[in-house]
Amino acid sequence: MEITVTINGKSHTADVEPRTLLVQFIREQVGLTGTNIGCDTSSCGACSVHVDGEAAKSCTLLAVQADGCSITTIEGMAAADGTLHPMQQAFMENHGLQCGYCTPGMVMAATSLLAENPNPTEEEVRIGLEGNLCRCTGYHNIVQSVLACAKS
C-alpha cells in the first residue's frame, strides 16, 4: 500500500506492507536509525517519536496508520546548523544519558511532556516519563535534565 508521511519536514512516499510498523518504516525504508527498538510490548518507549506533535510509540503504530501524518524523529530535533535542541542540550549538561539507547525516546517523550506541561514538578516529570525505560541512569539525571530544560 502506498503511503505518504512527512518525516522531519521531508515528504516520503513509499509502498509498504500493511504489517510494517512505523518504526520499521522509519528505520529501514527511510533510513533514519536514531529511533531505537527496545522491546516488543510497547513497554520501553525507546521508539518514541512525535506524531503530529505528540509523543507516540512508533512500534505500536502501523506505518499505514501514519499515512498523511507529520512525524518528528530524534534526527529532526537539532537545528539545521547542528545546534542541539534545548532538551538535547539539557540532557548533555545534566548527564541524562549513558549508553544512549533509550535517549532518543526519552528526549521525544520529554519534549512532548513539556509541551503539555511547561512547568512540571519533579513528581510530574517522573510520572510523565512512566512509559520510557532506562537501565543506565537510574533516571535521576534524566529527571534533572527535563527540569533544567523547563527552567531554561
Partner 1 sequence: MIPAAFDYVRASSAAEAIQLIGQYGDEAKFLAGGHSLVPAMKLRLAQPTVLVDIGRVSDLSYIRDGGDHIAIGALTRHMDVEKSPVLAEHVPLLAHAAGHVGDPQVRHRGTIGGSLAHADPASDLPATTLALGATYVAEGPNGTREIAAADFYQGYFTSALAPDEMLTEIRVPKMGGAGWSFQKFNRRAQDWAIVGVAAWQRGSECGVGLVNMASTPVLASSVATAVAGGASAADAAEAAAADADPQGDLNASVEYRVHLAKVLTRRALEAAAS
Partner 2 sequence: MTMTDNTTGVLGQRLLRREDPALLTGEARYTSDLPIPGALHLAVLRSPYARARIVSVDTSAAAAMPGVTAVFSGADLAEAWAGPMPCAWPVTEDMKSPTHYPLAVGQANYVGDGVACVLATSATAARDAIDAIDVEYEPLEAVIDLEDALSDRVVIHDEIGTNRSYTWDLKIEESEGQVDQAFADAAYSVKERYIQQRLIPAAMEPRAVAAIPQPFGGDMTLYSATQVPHILKVMTALTLGIPEHQLRVVAPAVGGGFGSKLNVYAEELLCVALAKRTGSPVRWTETRSEGNQATIHGRGQIQDIELAADSDGRLTAVRVRLIGDMGAYLQLVTPGVPLLGAFLYAGVYELPKAYDFSCTSVFTNMTPTDAYRGAGRPEATYAIERAMDSLAAEIGIDPLELRRRNFIPTASYPYEAMTGLVYDSGDHDRAATLAADMIDYAGVRARQQTQNVPGATKRLGIGVSTYFEMCGLAPSRVLASLNYGAGGWEAATVRVLPTNKIQVVTGTAPHGQGHETAWSMIVAEKMGVSPDDVDVLHSDTAIAPLGLDTYGSRSLSVGGVAIAIACDKVIDKAKQIAAHQLEANPDDLEFSGGEFRVAGSPDRAMPLAAVAFEAFTAHNLPDGLEPNLEAHTTYDPPNFSWPFGTHMCLVEVDTETGQVDVLKYVAVDDCGNQVNPLIVDGQVHGGVVQGLAQALYEEAVYDSDGNLQTSTLAEYLVPAASDVPAIETGHTVTPSPTNQLGVKGIGEAGTIASTPAVINAVVDALSGLGVRDVPMPASPNTVWRAINEAQGGQQ
Helices (H) and strands (E) in the chain, counts: 5, 5
Residue 40 near residue 49, CB atoms below 8 Å: no
Helix, strand, or coil (residue 55): strand
Applying CB under 8 A, among 39, 68, 116, 121 the residue interacting with partner 2 is 39
Q: Is 127 in the site for partner 2 (CB under 8 A)?
A: yes
Q: Which grid cell is 136?
A: 543506565
Binding mask 19-38 for partner 1 (x = CB under 8 A): x-x--x------------x-
Q: Is 98 in the site for partner 2 (CB under 8 A)?
A: yes
Applying CB under 8 A, among 92, 115, 117, 152 the residue interacting with partner 2 is 92
Q: Please give the Cα distance from 93 to 91 (Å, whole number).
A: 6
Read off the DSSP letter of residue 85: P
Binding mask 90-129 for partner 1 (x = CB under 8 A): -------------------x--xx--x----------xx-
Q: Is 60 in the site for partner 1 (CB under 8 A)?
A: yes
Closest Cα partner for 85 from 146, 38, 131? Answer: 146
Q: Among residues 40 and 100, whose Cβ is nearest to partner 1?
A: 40
Per-position b or e across 16-41, b if 16+ CB within 10 A of its CB: beeebbbbbbbbebbebebbbbbeee
Cα maximum dimension of the chain: 45
Q: Which residues contribute to the site for partner 1 (CB under 8 A)?
A: 1, 17-19, 21, 24, 37, 40-43, 45, 48, 51, 54-57, 59-62, 64-65, 109, 112-113, 116, 127-128, 130-132
Q: Which residues contribute to the site for partner 2 (CB under 8 A)?
A: 17, 19, 27, 31-44, 46, 73-75, 77-78, 84, 88, 91-93, 95, 97-104, 107, 122, 125-127, 129-143
